[in-house]
Every structure is written in structure tokens, then in C-alpha cells.
Amino acid sequence: MRCRRTGRPPEQALASNSVERFVVTGGSRLAGEVLIPGAKNSVLKLMAASLLAPGTTTLSAVPDILDVDVMADVLSALGARVGRDLAAGTISIETPDVPGAVADPELVRRIRASVAILGPLVGRRGEARVALPGGDAIGARALDMHVDGLRRLGAVVDIEDGALVARSSGRLQGAAIWLDFPSVGATENLLMASVLAKGTTVIDNAAREPEIADLCEFLARMGARIEGIGGSTLVVDGVEELRPVAHETVPDRIVAGTYAIGAVMTEGDVMIRHGRAEHLGIVLEKLAAAGARIEPGADGFRVSSTGRPRSIDVVTLPYPGFPTDLLPQVIALEAVSQGISLITENVFDSRFVFCRELLRLGAQLRTDGHHVVVRPAPRLAGASVVASDVRAGAGLVLAGLVAEGTTVVHEVHHIDRGYAGFVENLCALGADIRRERDVAVA
């Protein structure tokens, strides 16, 4: 059997004793269509925002990924009733009149996005205790801006026994907040905290990612008053209460970008349904510079390529710059491109951990601080590699698609945290890949 289509069993929704790997045989060309689900980086924050209003919130276009399962358990532990319909891609969250204030620390430490419950809880019920979050090993993500912003809104915030504890004696008070860096997480937390605050809050140097705009539109549908959506300054006029609503999650631009890069690496031709080209402006410009043909359509965009891609230089920056979440994938692309490329990472300090694994496949690269120089390798050859985070795992799979022989990617639970049906989708596009129990580490 060339490609066994085995999905993630439901019982693996949380940590499991089952350790799995992906086995990739190189040489296949990706061609066909792939449907892009809702964004991981949006749906988790939308789920957290449901805490702002009692009643039932319904989200659609929800990806079937591990992080959604963990966030669902985080909310359940706070008293919400969460239901999933995997076939329909929906999730319903029934928030109680008074949600809990103390988040389960074991659940919170599994995903960094869990810190997003801090703003809604302190904004709505005046107190929250959230353990310092876990997640990918890609470097420090300081919470200073979250804390400073909440303090400006009138909360008392301390760190007690490894947890952030925020309290407010009454409604938070609107304030002027300047972020030293356009942090996505800080923007989201302060936005959610301020929608129920008294008066006007101005968040300057706010993050501009499409997922932020999606959260703003969701909150506005709930009754929040927000101006400047999509820009770097958000003005929030606080309201006394919000109502639960139904909302469709914005498509995942990182997943779309991953398949686009895979199409270029394999000299393929892939129609990316529901992908929004406007959310991947600089990424698609770079792929075009590498020799790809990009054709936007009414329901997505098509990426096709012939011949070995040309080398490109990439610098990661906050949106609308090149996203750090596509850095491993583009490094994999450069490993099989013509010429020398310089890749610069400006967001996370440990993204280049991925490079050690890519070297095992024969890539010619050298790291220097937050730069990596990639030289054209005669070929990549299959080897055993380990996924250290969501995007590193995806990058290693893409490299395995073009490597000679077989590449075995271990620790694929990281990939399952961000890519729904990754094996199945790649199989449908013509890849030779299968999921199996990792007997070597079981």
C-alpha cells in the first residue's frame, strides 16, 4: 500500500501513551486540491473569548487539532460545557453565569494559547489565576506586556507559585496602552479585558494579524465597540455586557502557506481552497520570486512550479511581514533551491533548533545568531529526525517529500497540534506518507 490514510484517533485528543511517527518516502509531486480549515491561532482565542458572555457560543470551521481539545478542557474546568461536532467542524461552548477563576494548571501548561483566558476572566469576573503557560520550545515569550497592560486597566497582577494572578475590585477602567512590540498575545488579552471595562481603552502598536481582526469581528458581533480593526491602533469603548453569538473562524494562513511551499518544493500544482491570498501577501511574493506561479481565485489560490526553485532571502517580522510560523518551511525550501539564501528570524530566539534536524537530511546551512545561511545541497537524503514544535515538524515533513529514500519524523504529536489531517491531505495530493506507532521510542 503506497499511502495508508490513518487519522488521529479520538482517544489521542490529550496526552496519550501512544507515540507515533510519520514515515515519508521522497520523490512525489504534490498536485490536486486541499481545503484549508479555520486558523489554530484564531479559534483558540475565540474559545477563550466565549468566557465574556453567559450562554452558548458556536464556532464553525474549527480544525480537528490537539490544541482545540486542550482548550476545550481548559474551559470545561472553568465550568463551561463544551460540545464538538467533528463532522461539521463546529464547537459549542455554554458559558455559565459565573465561570471559575482558577484555571487547571496541568491543562494550561500544555499550550501557550491558554494564557488568553486571563483577559476575559479578569475583565468579566474581576479575578483570574492562570499558570504560566507551556507549548512549543521555540524560545521565551515574555508576558510583561500582558501584565503591564492589565495593571494600566486597574488590575492588581502578581506571580504566585508559578501562576499569574490578576484581581480587580470592580470593573476595569479604560486606559491608554502602548505595546513595546506588536505582540499578538498581549493585544488579544488586553483587547478581551477592555471590552467590558468602564470608559475608553486605546491600544497602540497593536498586532495586526488577520487572527486579531477575526477576534475583533467576533467581539463586535457579541456587542463590543471596537474601532481601528486591522490597524495598529485599536480603540475600545467598554460596554456593560456581551451576548453569545455564532461565528466562522478565519482560514488558517499558516496551514495554507505550508501547502503552498510544499507545492513549490515538489514542483507541484496545488489549489488551496479557502486560502486567502491577501493574508499571505509577502509569502506569495517570495514564492513568485522563487519561480512559482500564483493564481488567486474566488475560493482560494493556486500555486504551481516547474524546475528547481530560485533562492530567496527572508526576514521574519510581525504581520504584514513574513510570518515566523513559516520559517522552518521556508528554510526547507531554501535547502533545495538554487543559490545562497539568508534567512533572518526576528521574533523567537530558538526557531533554529529545527536546523539541527534538517542537517541530518543533508542540508547545507550554517546558523549565526538570528541568521541562517543556506547553500544549495546536491541532494537531501532520508534520515530519522525529531519534530521539536508544530512548524518544525511540518518543515521536516516537507523536506522528507523531496529527500531521496525514507524520512522518519518522530514526536508528531507536535504536528497534530496545528495541522488537521496532515497525512490524509498530503496523501490526497500524491505524497507517499503514513502514520504509524513509533516502536523505536514506545
Q: Which residue positions form the known binding site for UDP-N-acetyl-alpha-D-glucosamine?
A: 112, 325, 347
- Domains of the chain, earliest start first: 10-36+251-437 (3.65.10.10), 40-248 (3.65.10.10)
Q: What share of the chain is helix, strand, coil (3-state, %, to 5)?
A: 35, 25, 40
Q: Do 401 and 373 touch, CB atoms closer than 8 A?
A: no
Region of 369 on the Ramachandran plot (φ > 0 left; ψ -120 to 50 alpha; else beta): left
Alpha carbon distance 140, 82 (integer Å): 31
The packing angle between helices 327-335 and 253-265, to 10°, is 0
CA distances (Å), origin 395, targets 103, 128, 353, 378, 399: 33, 37, 12, 19, 6
Q: Which residue has the cell 488579544?
A: 188
Alpha carbon distance 47, 50 (integer Å): 5
Among residues 292, 345, 255, the alpha carbon closest in space to that of 355 is found at 345
> Phi then psi for 216, rounded to 5 degrees?
-60, -45
- Work out the mean pLDDT of the chain and round it to a whole number: 92
DSSP 194: H
Alpha carbon distance 434, 421 (integer Å): 11
Q: For the chain, 442 residues long, give each residue's pLDDT as a single digit of tens.
A: 345 434 444 334 333 345 999 999 999 999 999 999 999 999 999 999 999 999 999 999 999 999 999 999 999 999 999 999 988 999 999 999 999 999 998 888 888 788 999 999 999 999 999 988 654 443 444 688 999 999 999 999 998 888 889 999 889 999 999 999 999 999 999 999 999 999 999 999 999 999 999 999 999 999 999 999 999 999 999 999 999 999 999 999 999 999 999 999 999 999 999 999 999 999 999 999 999 999 999 999 999 999 999 999 999 999 999 999 999 999 999 999 999 999 999 987 667 889 999 999 999 999 998 999 999 998 999 999 999 999 999 999 999 999 999 999 999 999 999 999 999 999 999 999 999 998 755 4
The pLDDT tens digits for 100-121 are 999 998 888 888 788 999 999 9
Q: Give the predicted TM-score (pTM) of the model.
A: 0.93
Q: What is the pLDDT, as a whole number, of residue 5?
A: 38
Q: What is the pLDDT, as a whole number, of residue 142?
A: 67
Q: What is the pLDDT, as a whole number, of residue 440?
A: 57
Q: Return the active site residues.
A: 136
Alpha carbon distance 121, 102 (integer Å): 9
* 233-237: strand order across its sheet: 176-178, 200-204, 233-237, 225-227
Q: What is the pLDDT, as a whole number, of residue 15?
A: 38
Q: Which residue positions form the known binding site?
A: 40-41, 112, 325, 347
Alpha carbon distance 273, 276 (integer Å): 9
Q: Which residue positions form the known binding site for phosphoenolpyruvate?
A: 40-41
